[in-house]
């Protein structure tokens, strides 16, 4: 009888992966790693005997230098259909199939509005004051009649726009290729980037991190915002210049900021944004819901089963055949 394949699941911080899907349908030895492994040598040691590695989107970097040291690896499954920290070329050269999963962007939209409301109404601060015996320590800010500026009007941005209209907000939007017609169809108005920063009461980031968007929100853009305006980022930390953001918060150039994403995750205690005033910060939980986990890891199990049957699904690369694989 063939031995079961070995599956290693990375970054299962909540020890929830095995409870989120029926792994028993696989003839597999499933091992979950409930902490983040930053050291490359330690990571290789943990993964060396794995036939299949399961990665959560953009938590652990699986670059060429790691993949070249994993001779048994044949399948790499990531949650969602994009993972910028997986070297697809290196995986293909080594004959490693990479597959993804479905995802529901609504969970990130829900968290974004939670952050907006928590920030403008100072919910964390008021709760802390209440626990300390203080009553009414800060005036909140309402949403009705305010302007929401969306950087990006794709699936997530368009869902943000729909909810903003329920709050009777004016919705402004910008992205490099956004047309006035597309914006209008989503209930928004296309404006130039500088106008968005200057006019929006809340700027919310919904762009994919790329060479074009890295550092898009910098000191210049933050200076265009008013002292009564807020910035919310649930996309990727690299889109916002973190040092410039901390400066804007410390000097009062903007009223506050909320973030669910950071340049280094898990976040080191020395990260300057953690000490910045008027912030609401969460540990990249935009997709961390029971429903999303069931979708992610149900698809992961399906991906592994389909690969074992010789018909991989939701493929992200075209691996080299055995005779062309690099040793």
Mean pLDDT rounded to a whole number for the chain: 96
Select from 321, 310, 308, 325 the least CA-distant residue to 2.
Answer: 308
pLDDT level of residue 321 (50, 70, 90 thresholds):
confident
Catalytic residue flag (residue 236): yes
State residue 58's pLDDT score: 85
Radius of gyration of the chain (CA): 22
State residue 186's pLDDT score: 97
* DSSP state at residue 169: -
Q: What is the 3-state secondary structure (H, E, C) of 11-42?
A: CCCCCCCCCCCCHHHCCEEEEECCCCCCCHHH
- Rounded to whole angstroms, the Cα distance separating 148 from 139 reads 20
Residue with tokens 């040092």: 243
pLDDT at 187 over 50: yes
State residue 324's pLDDT score: 72
- SS3 (DSSP) at 69: coil
Catalytic residue among 74, 102, 265, 278: 265
Q: Note the pLDDT tens digit of each residue in 28-83.
A: 999 999 999 999 999 999 999 999 999 998 899 999 999 999 999 999 999 999 99
Task: Give the DSSP H/E element, type plus range, for residue 115.
Answer: helix 106-120
State residue 326's pLDDT score: 77
Q: Note the pLDDT tens digit of each residue in 227-253.
A: 999 999 999 999 999 999 999 999 999
Catalytic residue flag (residue 19): no
Q: Find the range with the poorest average confidence among 157-161, 208-212, 258-262.
A: 208-212
pTM given for the model? 0.93
Task: Give the DSSP H/E element, type plus range, for residue 200.
Answer: none
Higher pLDDT: 57 or 170? It is: 170
Task: List, in sequence order, every residue forming a beta bridge with 6; answer none if it has no partner.
Answer: 29
* DSSP state at residue 235: S
Catalytic residue flag (residue 323): no
State residue 323's pLDDT score: 61
C-alpha angle 325-101-311 in degrees, rounded to nearest 5? 50
State residue 1's pLDDT score: 42
Could you count the other beta carbons within 10 Å of the beta carbon of residue 194?
Answer: 12
């Amino acid at each position: 009888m063939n031995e079961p394949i070995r599956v290693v699941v990375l970054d299962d911080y909540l020890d929830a992966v095995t409870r989120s899907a029926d792994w028993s349908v696989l003839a597999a030895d499933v091992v979950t790693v409930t902490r983040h492994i930053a050291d490359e040598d330690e990571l290789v040691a943990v993964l060396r005997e794995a036939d299949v590695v399961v990665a959560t989107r953009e938590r652990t970097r699986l670059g060429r230098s790691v993949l070249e040291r994993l001779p048994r690896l044949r399948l790499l499954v990531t949650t969602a259909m994009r993972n910028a920290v997986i070297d697809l070329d290196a995986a293909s050269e080594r004959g490693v199939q990479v597959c993804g999963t479905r995802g529901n962007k609504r969970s990130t939209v829900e968290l974004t509005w939670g952050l907006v409301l928590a920030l403008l109404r100072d919910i964390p601060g008021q709760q802390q004051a209440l626990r300390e015996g203080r009553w009414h320590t800060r005036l909140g800010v309402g949403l009705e009649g305010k302007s929401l500026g969306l950087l990006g009007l794709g699936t997530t941005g368009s869902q943000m726009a729909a909810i903003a209209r329920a709050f009777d907000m004016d919705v402004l939007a910008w992205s490099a290729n956004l047309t006035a017609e597309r914006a209008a169809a989503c209930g928004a108005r296309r404006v130039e980037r500088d106008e968005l920063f200057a006019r929006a009461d809340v700027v919310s980031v919904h762009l994919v991190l790329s060479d074009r968007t890295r550092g898009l929100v910098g000191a210049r853009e933050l200076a265009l915002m008013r002292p009564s305006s807020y910035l919310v980022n649930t996309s990727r930390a690299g889109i916002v210049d973190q040092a410039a953001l901390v400066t804007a918060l410390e000097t009062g150039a903007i009223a506050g900021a909320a973030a669910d994403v950071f340049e280094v995750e898990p976040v080191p205690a020395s990260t300057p944004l953690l000490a910045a005033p008027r912030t609401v910060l969460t540990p990249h939980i935009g997709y961390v819901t029971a429903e999303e986990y069931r979708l992610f890891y149900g698809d992961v199990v399906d991906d592994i089963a389909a690969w074992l049957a010789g018909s991989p699904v939701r493929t992200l690369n075209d691996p080299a055949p055995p005779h062309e694989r690099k040793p």
